[in-house]
Structure 1
Amino acid sequence: MLPRLAVTKLWRFVSITAPAPTRLSALDRLLPVWILAAMGLGLLLAVFVPAVGDLLHLWTIGSISVPIAIGLLVMMYPVLAKVRYTDARAVASDKRLLVSSLLLNWLVGPALMFTLAWIFLPDLPEYRTGLIIVGLARCIAMVLIWNDLACGDREAAAFLVAVNSVFQVVAFGALGWFYLQVLPAWLGLPTTSAEFSIWAITASVLVFLGIPLLAGYLSRRIGEAQRGREWYEARFLPRVGPFALWGLLFTIVMLFALQGQQVIDHPGDVARIALPMLVYFAVMFLVGFLTGRLLRMTYERTTTLAFTAAGNNFELAIAVAIGTFGALSGQALAGIVGPLIEVPALIALVYVALWLKPRLFPERMPPADAPTPAAASALV
């Protein structure tokens, strides 16, 4: 039942208004296979065509990899073009969603990663520091894809991502100081000195959220003004929707081509870094999901809460680690392992969310909060 349900949901992600088709494309039907193939292709390029990785290392603007930025922008634009921004404003009135998201992202998430880093890597201070930095970088990019694949509330996701981006600029440096210096000193543990670049944080937010958010907003505003909402959602969105998945696959190939050699050269270290990350993704997702269920949110908003809590901004974590400690540091390797583990982990959690939906959110149970029109009509 799970694969069939997941395939149906993944198709609805690509075409939100059309009725269920009788035949799925190969991309939709075998999405997990294509993601694994993209990871494998990236590793093969890293091993047998190292010039690709060298070129990707050189093709940067500041600390931002241009090919990865292109892939993320292509991936995020269709998702943000689907958001009904007039409905997204109503999400701000959902105090339970906003407060629980802020608590999970900025209190529970960093504290959990700090704890896991010290439990699993007590003898490896560089990797431990890199892991803590990953925990501080809250997701503002790929979470939109995972949320849409799991049929979450995209208006709520857009709002929470925007809120996280503001907190990221303001709070990242302070939290880094607290978790690397203040808290370890209180606990009698070794401290780490680090200065974070506000420019790297701001640039990450502006590029990976600001550009696609502006493009998506203008697309809907102009498209609906000139051709109407029916044309925009029935004709325009199905045409641009598949680019989200193509952008995702391209980004995965680029990530593994860029960083795959590091993974191959340090398999033991990668395994030690990967284990606490897997625990982190699973725990944050389940805590977010159960929190939404206990607060009697709809499935759509519960899923959004869970994925925005579980994801991390890997581009920011890598940029900060490299800028602060150097490209060959253990901190940088920990940041690099982040997306390589996050991609398969969160695509697996998409299936977990779809499996949990009929079990924890039976249709006969009336939600305590009335869903927004977008949440009630999305993906049908």
Structure 2
Amino acid sequence: MGLFGKYLTLWVALSMGAGVFIGEMFPGFTDTMRSLEIGGGINLAIAVLMWFMIFPMMLKVDFASVKDAGKNPAGLLITLAVNWLVKPFSMALFGYLFVKVLFVPFIGEELANQYMAGLIILAAAPCTAMVFVWSSLTKGDPGYTLVQVSVNDLIMLFAFAPIVKFLVSGTSDLSVPYNVLFLSVTVFVAVPLISAVAAKGAVIKTKGKEWFENSFVPFFQPLSISALLATLVFIFAFQSENITSRLFHVLLLSIPILLQVYFNSGLIYWLMRRFRIRHNVASPGALIGASNFFELAVATAISLYGPESGAALATVVGVLVEVPVMLSVCSICVRSAGWYKAAGTG
């Protein structure tokens, strides 16, 4: 973990604050960076930074290890079931109840529709890169965590776009351009995954597996952390006006996000114990269910509805609450390890 892990909340908070400061104090620079787009809506700066952030994590994806989950599939099946059959729909339910019913007098119908779209996009993207950080904090099984993340990545390539399209069309008046959504998944998931697999194969073939694991992968870790912080700076710079002018809306949006985070993580954690899954498998499973692939969610919302849209703001609120919420879930998992042992699980 090092210095970054020890002061994780501080670095992320500083990056968010720096982003808002840059957006407010240097609007010309922010507008210029925001205007750099590829594919009709994907920001170039964020795309490059996200590649550097996601690529090191993708280097750890071992497709051969996926078959090993068959030896103990219950934990994986529970995680996948909640992630793809419960989580997006629970977010749609919580979002509709709060945003479209309770909060609409304060935010208006138009923004309510946009916020709903952003919340659904956020919930439909399970976390990938940061899961390894959260798992290590709870002493999770790294091999099983890798399998869970790997399978989620594969499913995301095919399930993310249709789920978002179905739920957004069903709960708001906004339409989803499927081609742009699929392009976002391709750029932010498929390209880093394919490039990492190709690089891994080439390096192992020429230098060997030991050099790959002990030299090549560690070389990219500082780049990954720097790219994460820089991505947050750009995201919050692009959204600075939205954040500062809609602080009350940010507070309102955090309510359904927090509810769905604790609901889904708690559901996975309880099901894992109910089916007598080991604690070092259950805790990362709960963390995957609680967190989101916010990089993909923010980029997709910006690609679909624009950087100043309510949908983009809703996904950014997800980023805002991600770290403190996930740290609290980590704490709950660690402190409740005895509860698992009492049930006869490891």
Smaller-chain TM-score bracket: 0.7 to 0.9
CA contact (8 A) 1:140 1:205 kept: no
CA contact (8 A) 1:130 1:333 kept: no
Q: 1:327 to 1:211 in 2, by over 3 A?
A: closer
- Which is richer in helix? 2
Q: Does the CA-based 8 Å contact 1:150-1:303 persist in structure 2? A: yes
- 8 Å contact kept, 1:117–1:276: yes
Question: 2: CA distance between counterparts of 1:264 and 1:234?
Answer: 44
- Which of 249, 263, 266 aligns to 1:269? It is 249
Q: Can you give the 5+ residue segments of structure 2 that lack an aligned partner in the other structure? A: none
Q: What is the CA-CA distance between 1:262 and the residue it aligns to? A: 0.9
Contact 2:294–2:315 at 8 Å: present in 1 too?
A: yes
Letter of the 2:16 counterpart: M
Distance of aligned partners of 1:130 and 1:164 in 2 relative to their CA distance in 1, 3 Å threshold: same
Using the size of structure 1 for normalisation, the TM-score is 0.75
| Partner secondary structure for residue 129 of structure 2 | helix
Q: Does the CA contact (< 8 Å) of 1:135 and 1:312 recur in 2?
A: no
- Alignment deviations for residues 92-144 of structure 1 (CA, whole Å, 9 cap, x no partner): 67543454234312332233223322333322434443343344335657532
8 A contact 2:126–2:152 mirrored in 1: no
Report if aligned partners of 1:75, 1:245 keep a CA contact under 8 Å in 2: yes
Distance 1:251 1:326 in 2: 17
1:1-380 equivalences in 2 (<5 Å): 11=1, 25-61=2-38, 62-91=40-69, 95-121=73-99, 122=101, 123=104, 124=107, 125-137=109-121, 138=123, 140=125, 142-151=127-136, 152=140, 153-178=145-170, 180=171, 192-314=172-294, 317-318=297-298, 329-353=309-333, 355-356=334-335, 358-360=337-339
The 1:174–1:116 alpha-carbon spacing in structure 2 relative to 1, beyond 3 Å, is closer
Pairwise CA distance, 1:263: 0.5
Number of equivalenced pairs: 331
Relative to the length of structure 2, the TM-score reads 0.82
Corresponding residue SS for 1:75: helix
1:45 shift after superposition: 0.9
Residue 210 of structure 1 deviates from its aligned partner by 0.8
Aligned counterparts of 1:71 and 1:343: Cα–Cα separation in 2: 19
CA distance in 2, matches of 1:141, 1:104: 10
Residue 248 of structure 1: CA displacement?
1.3
The separation in 2 between residues aligned to 1:128 and 1:92, in whole angstroms, is 43
**How far apart are the structure 2 equivalents of 1:228 and 1:364?**
43
Give the 3 Å change call, closer, same or farther, for CA 316–72 of structure 1 in structure 2: closer
Contact kept? 1:71, 1:247, Cα under 8 Å: yes
Whole-Å separation in 1 of the counterparts to 2:43 and 2:197: 25
Query: C-alpha separation between the residues in 2 aligned to 1:336 and 1:365?
Result: 41
Kindly report the root-mean-square deviation, in angstroms, between the aligned alpha carbons of the 2 structures.
3.0
Q: d(CA) in 2 for partners of 1:93 and 1:63?
A: 43
Closer, same or farther in 2 for the Cα pair 1:105/1:358, shift >3 Å? Answer: closer
